[in-house]
Amino acid sequence: MISSERYITILVQFVSTQLEGRPRIKWFMQDGARPHRTEKVFHFLDEYLGNRVVALDYPKFTGTGMDWPPYSPDLTPCDYFLWGALKDIVYGNHPSTLDELESAICVACNSISAQTVKDVM
């Protein structure tokens, strides 16, 4: 289980790579998991991302951003495309060891073309 403190550590690493030079984050979206909705997490997100956050209860806490839309499981391309596509490719070869699984994941990720990613977005 992840704590809000561990989640903030992950966010610090992510944000530091995304904000170098020029901001590349248009919107940051997180689900409503309890560790994602603490006061510390919302303060961190508000400080670094301001109104570019989509998160459950975020606008109530900060007055900015966008509330997580109810019943919207299809908000991200990862949910409606990527995980299924990768699963089909990875498990199509029936990996039997961790090394084979890791290799299959790398091959699957590299097999998705830039054009496919653009089309999905």
* pLDDT per residue of the chain (121 residues) written in tens, 0 to 9: 789 999 999 898 888 777 666 666 778 888 788 899 999 999 999 988 888 888 888 889 888 888 777 666 556 676 677 888 888 999 888 999 989 998 998 899 899 888 888 787 7
- Residues 55 and 32 placed together within one structural domain of the fold: yes
Q: Tell me if residue 112 falls in helix, strand or coil.
A: coil
Cβ atoms of 35 and 3 closer than 8 Å: yes
Cα separation, 110 vs 104, in Å, equals 10
Is residue 28 domain-shared with residue 65, that is, in the same domain?
Answer: yes
How many domains, the chain? Answer: 2
Burial class (CB within 10 angstroms; exposed 0-12, middle 13-18, buried 19+) of 53: buried
Paired with 54 in beta bridges are 29, 66
**One domain for residues 43 and 98:** no
Query: What domain range is 101 assigned to?
Result: 76-120
If asked whether residues 18 and 64 sit together in one domain, one would say yes
